[in-house]
Structure 1
Amino acid sequence: MTDYPHMLAPLDLGFTTLKNRVLMGSMHTGLEETKDWNRVAEFYAERARGEVGLMVTGGIGPNLEGSVLPGAAMMVTQDDIDNHSIVTRRVHDAGGKIAMQILHAGRYAYGPKCVAPSPVKSPISPFPPAELDEDGIEKQISDIVATAQRAQEAGYDGVEIMGSEGYFLNQFLVTHTNKRTDRWGGSYENRMRLPIEVVRRTREAVGTDFIIIYRLSMIDLVPNGSTHDEVVQLAKEIEKAGATIINTGIGWHEARIPTIATSVPRAAFAWVTKKLMGQVSIPVITSNRINTPEVAEEVLSTGCADMVSMARPMLADAHFVRKAMEGKANHIAPCIACNQACLDHTFSGKLSSCLVNPRACSETELVVEPASTKKSIAVVGAGPAGLSAAMTAAERGHSVTIIDRSDEIGGQLNMAKQVPGKEEFWGLVDWYRTMVADMGIDVRLNTEATTEMLQGFDEVIIATGVLPRDPAIPGQDGANVHSYIDVLKKRATPGKRVAVVGAGGIGFDVSEYLVHEGESPTENLPDWMVEWGVSDPAEHRGGLSPEGPKPEAPARAVTLLQRKAEKHGRRLGKTTGWIHRAALKMKNVEFVGGVNYERIDEKGLHVSFGEARENPTLIEADDIILCAGQVPDRSLADALSDAGIVHHIIGGADVASELDAKRAIDQGTRLAATL
């Protein structure tokens, strides 16, 4: 008997059967571009060993003009076929199934040769696309079909044809990007001609016993996007053209509504897929912010879809499905949808990984093996750096003791989880607690580590974290001044007018915390939809409310200040910074930059501007919150050095950089893998 009967039920496709209802969705990891095909194969094979029903690769270009970037992976030569064969053989040997995503980027292609239905430049690319003529359209169709044939020759079980997220086929569907007046434009029947033709000719080329997934944009979230009736009409025609499965795409890349970030409610768009259920007879997959077996089971059992797509959760834990099968769901490393090591890396041209699981995409490079010599290891600090080091060391067979002065594990994660939109951090701390107990790690809380206490250990790891940086503002010792720690640990309750000193990640988080009161919109889907202006595409084209975003009134008037004369949040995550800025602006947070902090008194914060300290200004405030950065807490490390005790320093104690959990966890894991 299983707790997840719908998620773990097989899915009969006629010519083949999927072992369960979980699809590992496509992700642009950058692995294929490394050309280290053993590394690529091991990444997918590890997920196959984790019992996922079907995997989809990152997007593979059908030709040069359709590739997302210069040098991006394509499937155009015999060498490409041979290289991909290494992947498919490894996956099949591991008992898995895998499809290759064919991704034509259209006007999103980051290169001067990009093409599109009309010469309408994308707001996220500097390159204006060339408008295709009839011969050009025929070339794109032929190249996509040929790519599918090569994927079949390489041993893939199927292909996913990317028709959503604002990519090439999606661009033909809407008048926002298709201004044509020939048979490929104008009426909706003409605009949907291209995706139908691509699927029809692909099915003719690959035969009947080959999976064709069509990724269909079910809510565009851009002006002049598709209506629900158009989505249904296209889905029916795609089924007739020969698709095996329809997958859900949510939002174009240029949409100004978050769709997968941690502040988006879980399964936030499952209702969109549910509207298509019963309209077609082939299986339908739903997607976006499904990150636990419980959420997946709920989505399936309530008839929202026949199958669920989970992409980033398979980075966080390759054995997600297997652990659910074994009744160990609480052992699944949770995807917190932070984007920091996956999407942020992708859009920065780096190889993807995972904040929670640094081994993701590094399975052949970051190997955790049993230690040849078992040691006793002390880890001082139970934040993300210390916990990752302790768990990796314990996994290798070492005897591990964690010492922390706090009364709970998690370190600064326990403050992050208080911020509206970061509720996933509760689950991350819970997972650490479960794993530490399961691994038999000795945890000593409410304990101040000393040099004497640490002398008997073979290895000592210092993960003592950070201390707030002192901004040295005259008057900061007043009763109306608090550190971010006081606020997030609820030791201080600021008044209705607040000045926040420092606009880094912590300043943004504290501001978000201050403007909200009551239930977080992330925990209430209808409220979240109203806040961001998301509507039913059956009522409003593209799923955009004509009223736009309508957030609740802010709980406080907040001014967010920084010394740098630059855009606030410039150093926030590449794919999430805009969300944080937009969220605060919707709450009327005032951004003030280029300031000097002159003094604080009972009236508020006095500032001036520029090197000449001009334009003295009073920021009237009941309370001032200091978020002016951090410094490493190295007092214990210094004492150990003085005592001649060899030790390792990781996390914030090593480098205090915006509470960088990604770097801390990676550093802790890599260190412990070598001890």
Structure 2
Amino acid sequence: MTHSTTYPHLLAPLDLGFTSLRNRTLMGSMHTGLEERKDWDAVAAFYSARAKGGVGLIVTGGMAPNSEGGVFPGAAGLYTDEDIANHRRVTDAVHAEGGKIAMQILNAGRYAYSHECVAPSAIKSPISPFAPKALDAAGIEKQIADYATAAARAQQAGYDGVEIMGSEGYLINQFLVTHTNQRDDAWGGSYENRMRFAVEVVKRARAAVGPDFILIYRISMIDLIPNGSTWDEVVMLAKAVEAAGATILNTGIGWHEARVPTIATSVPRAAFASVTKAMMGEVSIPIVTSNRINHPDVAESVLAEGCADMVSMARPFLADPDFVNKAAAGKADEIAPCIACNQACLDHTFSGKLTSCLVNPRACHETNLDYAPVTSAKSVAVVGAGPAGLMTAIVAAGRGHDVTLFDRSDRLGGQLNMARQVPGKEEFHGLVDWFTSAVAHAGITVRLGVEVITETLDGFDEIVIATGVVPRDPQIAGQDAHGNTVSYIDVLRDKVDVGKRVAVIGAGGIGFDVAEFLTTGDSPTLDIAEWKQEWGITDPQTDRGGLSPDGPNPDAPTREVTLLQRKAEKPGKRLGKTTGWIHRATLQMKGVRMLGGATYEEITAEGIVITKNGERELIEADTIVLCAGQLSDRSLADALEAAGRTVHVIGGADVAAELDAKRAIDQGARLAATL
């Protein structure tokens, strides 16, 4: 079977008239932080790797058209001749690999993290501490002119096009809805007036670059905020933007302040493809669909079903720059999957760190993390087939070492096998499948069901210990006396029976996972209609902004759960920066009671007695589940070191903080790169 018959829609070229794209993939815009570091070799290496991997059209992270529009102070832009020369290095590198690249122009408006921020009206955003200044007529003219200047500079820098960022609640989007635009002049009031800014920006940018230059407009197809755009308004804007000179209509889903998940792992794949399908036929320019498309089968199906002309994938190209080439070569099983975890990409971005990827630590580190082939192969033993051990084994074997991988379990994956039992974490199935396939392709010797002792490892040149963690025993009085206390491993791995009323001890990531597992029947992530109902998402053709007037409507919880923690802070406070709120909201919708600042007095036959604020309380429960943290399992490492052997200890065996696959995989990759 040839690739073109496997993915005929995805791999078909797209004729834009003055130029054509080699296939229907668009690498969506992502902020990496590389441009701000002024490490232009790294920027060029990052984008050229994706061009070499076969992407049809790359869109850069958002570049500010002026200082007030930057997402944060010092955000990258294109202001000087030196900037243009630096960007030229990037575009040259992409073109050398046969790729095409467009620069996104992003004015954050009231989302800009600075005192300089501007907006149509002086209304503060709920996700920023800074109130914006309302633009006057001269200020509006300046903003439009700055977009046009940025587009012209992008053309000078060798870009094939620009994307005007009109979605996600940034400045252009703020003009479009009454929620943020309360003007009564020519730029406010009627929808024609509110959309004037967007249309004028496109018109002026087109005039600045001439006809033979790609101009993408990223439109908010569904706002997911109160008083968002109606569907008729979205269609009216799409037609006006086409008439103003846009080449391609790209999709944005939801404002950043929306209280609805749009790209997290619990969002079903292609959950929003129906909104682009509704736009098909309304305009004659190509339409791009977006959000939670992470496998060539999914991309092919949304195109085959007529949902769009192109597919935007962003984070999947962090996870695997060779996504398109592997799909084309019939090697889809070798594509490292984006699991939509946000841990190394968006969480890093919003914490001011360099973007990377949990499953691919080389993302944005192409110039300093190199998997160079070895000159002399060593025999390497890796003990533990969880994320840290798997990544070490795959990278080391890929470099040419002779690797043997041991695990006492009968399957690969370690703690990932528990994570994938949790509703909303179905993407972890694909991650374990990929690791399994990568181990097979790398020619690694696998020895499962083996209890490794020091003698097992005699004769190996290098020993890597990735034995993970063991649950920490909180030693609560009475926990062994009544037969009602189990650990998270008993629940997630061994599927022990759990009663109707449950107390979960520990409100870290595992405590939240267990609470979701215990309160959810069928996972809504596997059923788009059910998931939309749970979060109150409707058809934007019936409800303004695509939000149900009745709000979220989840299924009833399957159990009554109380989540307890010792720390006197809000449970879930330390979860991921961009996903923690989703987990907290999910448990609230399931009626989970969450208590911080609890002292565990004793477990009785009736439940658990706690003290909070000096008051004793019995939390009635049939089952108590212990999720009270982890300890490093270092017993084998200690025995080897005592025997005088040199070992490398990584992952949970090294540091047992919250189960952290991101750190474990990164550590494994970096160790294997140096062996």
What are the equivalent positions in structure 2 for 1:567-582 lying under 5 Å apart? 567-582=570-585
Look up the equivalent residue of 1:43 and give its one-letter code.
F
Helix, strand or coil at the partner of 1:668 = helix
Q: What displacement does 1:373 show?
A: 1.9
Residue 604 of structure 1: which of 599, 602, 607 is its match?
Answer: 607
Look up the equivalent residue of 2:157 and give its one-letter code.
A
Residue 318 of structure 1: which of 321, 333, 350 is its match?
Answer: 321
Q: What displacement does 1:40 show?
A: 0.2
Helix, strand or coil at the partner of 1:169 = helix
Contact 1:56–1:160 (8 Å) recurs in 2: yes
Look up the equivalent residue of 1:560 and give its one-letter code.
L
Helix, strand or coil at the partner of 1:32 = coil
What are the equivalent positions in structure 2 for 1:143-158 lying under 5 Å apart? 143-158=146-161
Residue 485 of structure 2: which of 481, 492, 506 is its match?
Answer: 481
Aligned to 1:84: 87
Question: Do residues 544 (structure 1) and 547 (structure 2) align?
Answer: yes
Contact 1:300–1:306 (8 Å) recurs in 2: yes
What are the equivalent positions in structure 2 for 1:514-553 lying under 5 Å apart? 514-517=518-521, 519-553=522-556
What are the equivalent positions in structure 2 for 1:46-61 lying under 5 Å apart? 46-61=49-64
Q: What displacement does 1:511 show?
A: 0.2
Aligned to 1:493: 497
- CA shift digits 1:106-145 (9 cap, x unpaired): 0000000000000000011000000000100000000110
- CA shift digits 1:258-300 (9 cap, x unpaired): 0000000000000011110000000000000000000000000
Aligned to 1:349: 352
**Aligned mates of 1:181, 1:490 — CA distance in 2:** 63
Q: What displacement does 1:452 show?
A: 0.5
Q: What displacement does 1:371 show?
A: 1.2
Helix, strand or coil at the partner of 1:360 = coil
Q: What displacement does 1:25 show?
A: 0.2
Residue 308 of structure 2: which of 305, 309, 325 is its match?
Answer: 305
**Aligned mates of 1:602, 1:410 — CA distance in 2:** 36
What are the equivalent positions in structure 2 for 1:579-598 lying under 5 Å apart? 579-598=582-601
**Aligned mates of 1:474, 1:201 — CA distance in 2:** 72
Look up the equivalent residue of 1:232 and give its one-letter code.
V
Question: Do residues 400 (structure 1) and 415 (structure 2) align?
Answer: no
What are the equivalent positions in structure 2 for 1:166-565 lying under 5 Å apart? 166-477=169-480, 478-517=482-521, 519-565=522-568
Structure 2 unmatched runs, 5+: none
- CA shift digits 1:44-99 (9 cap, x unpaired): 00000000000000000000000100011011111111110000000001110000
- CA shift digits 1:345-367 (9 cap, x unpaired): 00000000000000000000111
Helix, strand or coil at the partner of 2:279 = coil
Aligned to 2:23: 20
Contact 1:213–1:246 (8 Å) recurs in 2: yes
Instruction: Give the aligned length.
Output: 671
- CA shift digits 1:350-406 (9 cap, x unpaired): 000000000000000111101122100000000000000000100110000000000
Helix, strand or coil at the partner of 1:390 = helix
**Aligned mates of 1:309, 1:373 — CA distance in 2:** 42
**Aligned mates of 2:34, 2:214 — CA distance in 1:** 23
**Aligned mates of 2:163, 2:395 — CA distance in 1:** 36
Look up the equivalent residue of 1:491 and give its one-letter code.
K
**Aligned mates of 2:329, 2:495 — CA distance in 1:** 42
Look up the equivalent residue of 1:644 and give its one-letter code.
G
- CA shift digits 1:382-441 (9 cap, x unpaired): 000000000010011000000000000000000000000000000000000001001110
Helix, strand or coil at the partner of 2:36 = helix
**Aligned mates of 1:158, 1:644 — CA distance in 2:** 60
**Aligned mates of 1:103, 1:380 — CA distance in 2:** 47
**Aligned mates of 2:620, 2:304 — CA distance in 1:** 53
Look up the equivalent residue of 1:489 and give its one-letter code.
R
Q: What displacement does 1:491 show?
A: 3.5
What are the equivalent positions in structure 2 for 1:3-82 lying under 5 Å apart? 3-82=6-85
Q: What displacement does 1:476 show?
A: 1.2
**Aligned mates of 2:535, 2:559 — CA distance in 1:** 20
**Aligned mates of 2:423, 2:497 — CA distance in 1:** 16
- CA shift digits 1:228-267 (9 cap, x unpaired): 0000000000000000000000000000000000000000
Look up the equivalent residue of 2:102 and give its one-letter code.
A
Aligned to 1:161: 164
Look up the equivalent residue of 2:671 and give its one-letter code.
L
Aligned to 1:634: 634
Helix, strand or coil at the partner of 1:618 = strand
Aligned to 2:674: 674
Helix, strand or coil at the partner of 1:591 = strand
Q: What displacement does 1:490 show?
A: 3.4
Q: What displacement does 1:609 show?
A: 2.2
Q: What displacement does 1:509 show?
A: 0.2
Helix, strand or coil at the partner of 1:213 = strand
**Aligned mates of 2:215, 2:270 — CA distance in 1:** 24
Look up the equivalent residue of 1:515 and give its one-letter code.
T
**Aligned mates of 2:649, 2:483 — CA distance in 1:** 35
Contact 1:267–1:287 (8 Å) recurs in 2: yes
**Aligned mates of 2:335, 2:478 — CA distance in 1:** 48
Helix, strand or coil at the partner of 1:585 = helix
Helix, strand or coil at the partner of 2:446 = strand
Contact 1:368–1:396 (8 Å) recurs in 2: yes
**Aligned mates of 1:100, 1:373 — CA distance in 2:** 43
Look up the equivalent residue of 1:61 and give its one-letter code.
A
Structure 1 unmatched runs, 5+: none
Contact 1:455–1:645 (8 Å) recurs in 2: no
**Aligned mates of 1:539, 1:491 — CA distance in 2:** 42
Q: How does the TM-score come out when normalised to structure 2?
A: 0.99
Overall identity of the aligned pairs, in %: 70
Question: Once superposed, what is the RMSD of the aligned Cα atoms?
Answer: 0.6
**Aligned mates of 1:260, 1:289 — CA distance in 2:** 6
Aligned to 2:647: 647
**Aligned mates of 1:599, 1:531 — CA distance in 2:** 36
Look up the equivalent residue of 1:235 and give its one-letter code.
A
Look up the equivalent residue of 1:512 and give its one-letter code.
E
**Aligned mates of 1:71, 1:234 — CA distance in 2:** 32
**Aligned mates of 1:424, 1:333 — CA distance in 2:** 12
Question: Do residues 658 (structure 1) and 658 (structure 2) align?
Answer: yes
Look up the equivalent residue of 1:317 and give its one-letter code.
D
